[in-house]
Amino acid sequence: MNVTEAIEFVKSHHLSTLKHSTNLGYSLLFNHLKVIFDCRSIESISPDDIGQFLESFTSSASKGTRHLRYAQTKAFFNFVINECDLDIKNPCDHVLLARHFRNPKSAARKILDKELVDELIYSSTSLMFRLILELQARCGLRIGEVLKLKVSDVMDRKLLIREPKSGKEAETAYMPEQVAKRLAEYIAANDMSLDERLFPVCYSTVRSIIKKLGEKFHVKMSPHDFRRHSATYASRNGVPLEIISKVLMRHHDLKTTQVYLGKINDSEAIRWMDVLHGK
C-alpha cells in the first residue's frame, strides 16, 4: 500500500467519525503527505523520513502545533498499520521524534477572582459588552459561542449552542435568572428580529477591549479567562465536578474540566477542611 492509497483508506474508514474541525486538520496533513511521499509504500518510510517531513511541514509553527502534527502523523500510521494488519513498526515511534516534537508545558494561567470579574462586569458602560462578559463568566460559554448566538437561540433561561466545539449538532447552556432577564431586556430594547445576531461584533474587537481592561487593572486577560473563572468559581462553591463539566463547561471528559480549575492555596484548603469537619 502506498501513501496516497493509505490516505484514501483512512478518509473512507475513519475520518467520517470525527468532528469537522478535526477533519480539517487531517486534510492539511494529508495534502503535505501526498506532496512529499505520494506513491511511496508505507513500508519504505523511515523515522528519518518522518523527521524531515515534519520539519518541512512545521518549520514556522509553534511548539504546540508541531506536537499536534506529529501526533496526527503517528495516529495516521497507527490506523493504517492496525486496520490493514501490516507487519511493520510505526515510523513515528522513535524516541528522538517523540522528544523533538513533544508537547510543551503550558504556563499556569492566573484565575480571575470573583471580585475582579464582578468589577469588570458592573463597570461596563455598554449593556452588550456586559452581557458578553456575563455569558462567559456566569454561564461558561466560549467567546466564539457567545458571538454566534442569534435571538432565536434564546429560550427563557436556556441558550441553544449551534455547531459547538464537541462536534454535536447543538448543545444547551443555562443562564442565571438575572442574566436571562437582562438579555431579554437587551433584545426588546434593540427591537431585534429572530435571525439577528445578539452581539454584532467580531472576536478581535472583544479581545482588544478585554486586553485594555486588563491593562487598566494590571492583569493579563483574554476572553477565555472568563470561561475559566466560571469553572473555578463553581468548584470553589461546592458545585459537583460532574455538573461543572457536563452542564456548565459542556466538556466530554472530566479531565478536561480539571485542567480549567485553578490551584488551591493553603488558606483555601484549610477553609474547606473547616467547612467539612468543623473547626
Q: Average the pLDDT over 143-155 and give the result.
A: 96
Q: Average the pLDDT over 68-87 and give the result.
A: 93
Q: How far apart are the first and last CA of the chain?
A: 69
- The CATH classification number of 114-274 equals 1.10.443.10
Confidence of residue 19 (pLDDT cuts 50, 70, 90): low
In the chain, how long is the greatest CA-to-CA distance? 72
**Least confident interval from 117-121, 166-170, 201-205:** 166-170
31's CB contacts (< 8 A; 6+ apart) are none
Q: Global pTM?
A: 0.65
**Least confident interval from 22-36, 56-70, 265-279:** 265-279
Asked whether the CA dihedral 183, 185, 188, 190 is positive or negative, the reply is: negative
The yes/no answer on whether domain 3-100 falls in CATH 1.10.150.130 is yes
Q: Where are the domains of the chain?
A: 3-100, 114-274
pLDDT value of residue 106 = 64
Angle at 19 between CA 109 and CA 93, to 5 degrees: 75
Confidence of residue 107 (pLDDT cuts 50, 70, 90): low
HEC states along 31-100? HHHHHHCCCCEHHHCCHHHHHHHHHHHHCCCCHHHHHHHHHHHHHHHHHHHHHCCCCCCCCCCCHHHHHH
- Say whether pLDDT at 126 is over 90: yes
